[in-house]
Amino acid sequence: MKNVIQVLLFTLFVTLLFCACSEKEVAGGITDIDHSITVSGVVLDSDGKAVPSARVVAYIDNSISVDDSVETQSDKNGKYQLVLKERTEKDTVVLFAEQGTRCGIANLGAEEYRDVRISSRKSLKGSMNGSNSGYVRVKGTTLKAEIAEDGSFAFDAVPSGEEVILQYVQDDNAVATYTVSIPDSVDEVELPAMIEILLEMDGSERVFDNDSTAAENVTYVDGINGKAISLAPGQFIEIDSMGLTDGDFTISLWTKWEGTNGNHQILVSQRSYWSDSTSKFQWHYEAVYGNFTVMKSAPVKPDDIVFGDSSIVPVGEWSFLTLVSENHNVTMYVNGKQVGETSLFEANKLDVYVPFRIGGNEVDAETWNGLIDEVRIESVARNQKWIKEMWQRAKN
């Protein structure tokens, strides 16, 4: 289902408690399933030692619930093997292992081999600013926590794991998902505020003309998935201002680029004007030197990060562009492959409001020259494996 722009602000505070694992809190029903995919690995404890005779379950999770499951037991060397039915693109396979009071989960992803570490159950608390309904669930389990009037939620106990998937569900729709780490070796974990915005080009985007008035005419055409937007010269998509570029972030989008046109072309801008006091960040094709680059104000080295010339993005075909900032180091990917070098970059920190725009800025000649679809903005730094999976999933 197409979603309107979804803005999810997570502030999570994780406190570790030593609690007994309860099968009925985590397990879904066990059913017979068609066998077609073999999954294997080893169950390990918090010290990395193999755990024999552990119960291991693979839960097949669709968009908002556990759909099916199959289970086995680890052998004397901690090894397990499960045979699953072939899953769809919407299915997520989450592995759950337990022995006595210890348990843990692991996201299988696209792999067919995954170790699962087990330890004591953890408590998890958090809040979502601006939300007072729906619930947060741990994918691959039956665990869920209702959103209170003040936006808070709490889990009494969840399994630990390096890739625990939290999902926000509202009105029976999956609004956003996040992969977070719940370690088995520390007492408390505090995750930064989490943001996800997904623009699926379904007509709900806030499209403006260069004078910041709502655009009366917006062109939609066939995209990589559903419809894509074709911005007219001077148009841009605007979303609410946020502190996204102050920390880790990932910005990804699909585009069918029409190539150079003699002007700068904006992918993403967070600025009011091109100066240190009114500009935080911009990702664009820079026409003077002919490069894809990230800058935070007027082009002055070493603050402009160059990833490559116009040849790095194909012309006339759909391409998946991704920009990742981790610990203030930025990397650009095209169709899952890194282009250029990873470089140190820190956006300007401003005390004033500056608009966050997709496909353009306040200069009417700098609109992106091509189609745009499936824009995703997150306050997490995605790895190359995730980027490749997103590219392969959509192109197939």
- Dump pLDDT digits (tens) for 143-178: 998 988 877 788 988 999 988 888 878 778 766 667
Q: Is the pLDDT of residue 19 over 60?
A: no
Task: Tell me how far CA of residue 325 lies from CA of 197, 209, 246, 302, 355, in angstroms.
Answer: 16, 29, 10, 17, 20
Average pLDDT over residues 42-56: 96
Average pLDDT over residues 203-225: 92
Which residue has 């696209």 as its token pair?
Answer: 110
Closest CA to 335 of 368, 311, 313, 305: 313
Q: Is the pLDDT of residue 142 over 70?
A: yes
Query: Strand 249-257 to strand 370-378: parallel, antiparallel, or no bridges (unpaired)?
Result: antiparallel
- Encode pLDDT of 381-391 as tens digits: 888 988 998 89
Cβ atoms 70, 82 nearer than 8 A: yes
More confident residue, 88 or 337: 337
- Encode pLDDT of 187-197 as tens digits: 666 665 567 78
Question: What's phi and psi for 387, nearest 5 deg?
Answer: -60, -45
Q: What is the pLDDT of residue 11?
A: 34
Q: What is the pLDDT of residue 227?
A: 95
Q: Is the pLDDT of residue 291 over 90?
A: yes
Q: Is the pLDDT of residue 243 over 70?
A: no
Q: What is the pLDDT of residue 144?
A: 93
Closest CA to 208 of 359, 378, 368, 365: 359
Q: What is the pLDDT of residue 31?
A: 41
- Encode pLDDT of 323-375 as tens digits: 999 888 999 999 999 999 999 988 888 878 889 999 999 999 999 999 999 99
Amino acid at 385: K
Between the ranges 50-64, 145-159, 229-243, where is the mean pLDDT highest? 50-64
Q: What is the pLDDT of residue 222?
A: 95
DSSP class of 290? T
**What is the band of 32 on the pLDDT scale with cuts at 50, 70, 90?**
very low
- Dihedral sign computed on CA atoms, order 54, 60, 64, 67: negative
Q: What is the pLDDT of residue 149?
A: 86
Q: What is the pLDDT of residue 373?
A: 97
Q: What is the pLDDT of residue 169?
A: 80
**What is the band of 90 on the pLDDT scale with cuts at 50, 70, 90?**
low
Cβ atoms 256, 359 nearer than 8 A: no
Q: What is the pLDDT of residue 25?
A: 43
Q: What angle do CA 64, 66, 69 make, to 5 degrees?
A: 160
Which residues have a Cβ under 8 Å from the Cβ of 51 and sit 6 or more positions away? 43, 44, 45, 74, 78, 97, 99, 102, 118
Distance CA 310, CA 247 (A): 28
Cα 96 to chain center, whole Å? Answer: 22
Which residue has 């995919």 as its token pair?
Answer: 37
